[in-house]
């Protein structure tokens, strides 16, 4: 995709990227740094963040988005690095746990998914919104999922959590209308990353089976490409919702397998 490179602007653009220890968050932080953004990458695992910092030169901070105190430290660090303004918050932190039906729901898993995908996202948004307003060129970008829009058997908990995040984005777009803040949602389909399915299913064999027969699922870099395009587009252009899937996937639960795509 062709984008306006941030390094060509008169001032260096700034971003906080959550969930940056792996997968889409890590690829997004790397991509934005390559394009000249000043990035603060955050996640819970400090060792993974230090590796990212060494690779890219980005700033890093260990943050638990389910903790008020931890997010307060994020706000303080962002102010130290960027001053009173901030150009973008990229919400990638999230995840799925389990594939139980609603009738067999594990409520601890549901609670954890809601705490991370919804309440954690709200917590970070609320905390950093003043800085986005102060910048005069702010973006709130939410990486949700096709699961936010398409229910599927065994997905009810993740469907519900991601639908909550989707509705947060839609409500914010209405609430912030008239301000210089874009609200963008990127909803990926099947993405093959090192951890998503493994964390969800708890077994490497089961995780590998998710992608069985699909030769080209999306990669984290594919998603970072779309995120980069949305953030670097002229600021009067708002990509409200982008659904991105591999060619083999027609719906969350409808995938062509063993067909060479």
* Digit-coded pLDDT (tens) for 50-81: 999 999 999 999 999 999 999 999 999 999 99
Q: With bands split at pLDDT 50, 70 and 90, how would you rate the model's confidence at 154?
A: very high
Q: With bands split at pLDDT 50, 70 and 90, how would you rate the model's confidence at 192?
A: very high
Residue 45 has pLDDT above 80, yes or no: yes
The token pair at 69 is 């105190």
Q: What is the pLDDT of residue 93?
A: 95
Cα 96 to Cα 169: distance, rounded to the nearest angstrom: 19
Q: How far is CA 142 from CA 39, 90, 108, 163, 165, in A?
A: 16, 6, 24, 12, 8
Cα 48 to Cα 70: distance, rounded to the nearest angstrom: 18
Q: What angle do CA 230, 145, 67 make, to 5 degrees?
A: 90
* Digit-coded pLDDT (tens) for 33-44: 999 999 999 999
For the whole model, what pTM was predicted?
0.93
Least confident of 55-64, 114-123, 188-197, 246-255: 188-197
Cα 90 to Cα 2: distance, rounded to the nearest angstrom: 20
Q: Judging by beta carbons within 10 Å of its beta carbon (0-12, 13-18, 19+), is residue 99 exposed, middle or buried?
A: middle
Residue 3 has pLDDT above 50, yes or no: no
From the candidates 152, 158, 211, 229, give the one annotated as an active-site residue.
158
The token pair at 159 is 């469907």
Phi then psi for residue 117, to 5 deg, are -70, -35
Q: What is the pLDDT of residue 166?
A: 98
152 is catalytic: no
């Amino acid at each position: 995709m062709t984008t306006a490179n941030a390094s060509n602007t008169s001032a260096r653009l700034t971003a906080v990227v959550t969930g940056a220890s792996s997968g889409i968050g890590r690829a997004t932080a790397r991509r934005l740094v390559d394009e000249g953004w000043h990035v603060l990458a955050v996640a819970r695992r400090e060792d993974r963040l230090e590796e990212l910092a060494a690779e890219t030169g980005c700033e890093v901070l260990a943050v638990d988005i389910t903790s008020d105190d931890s997010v307060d430290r994020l706000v303080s660090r962002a102010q130290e690095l960027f001053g009173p303004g901030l150009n973008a918050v990229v919400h990638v932190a999230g995840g799925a746990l389990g594939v139980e039906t609603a009738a067999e729901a594990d409520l601890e898993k549901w609670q954890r998914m809601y705490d991370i995908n919804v309440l954690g996202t709200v917590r970070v948004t609320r905390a950093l919104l003043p800085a986005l307003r102060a910048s005069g060129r702010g973006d709130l970008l939410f990486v949700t999922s096709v699961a936010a829009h398409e229910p599927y058997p065994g997905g009810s908990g993740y469907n519900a959590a991601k639908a909550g995040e989707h509705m947060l984005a839609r409500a914010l777009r209405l609430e912030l209308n008239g301000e210089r803040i874009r609200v963008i949602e990127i909803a990926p389909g099947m993405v093959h990353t090192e951890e998503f399915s493994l964390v969800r299913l708890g077994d490497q064999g089961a995780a590998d089976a998710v992608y069985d027969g699909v030769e080209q699922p999306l990669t984290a870099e594919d998603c970072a490409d779309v995120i980069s395009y949305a953030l670097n587009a002229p600021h009067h252009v708002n990509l409200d919702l982008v659904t991105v899937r591999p060619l083999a996937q027609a719906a969350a639960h409808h995938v062509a397998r063993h067909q060479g795509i």
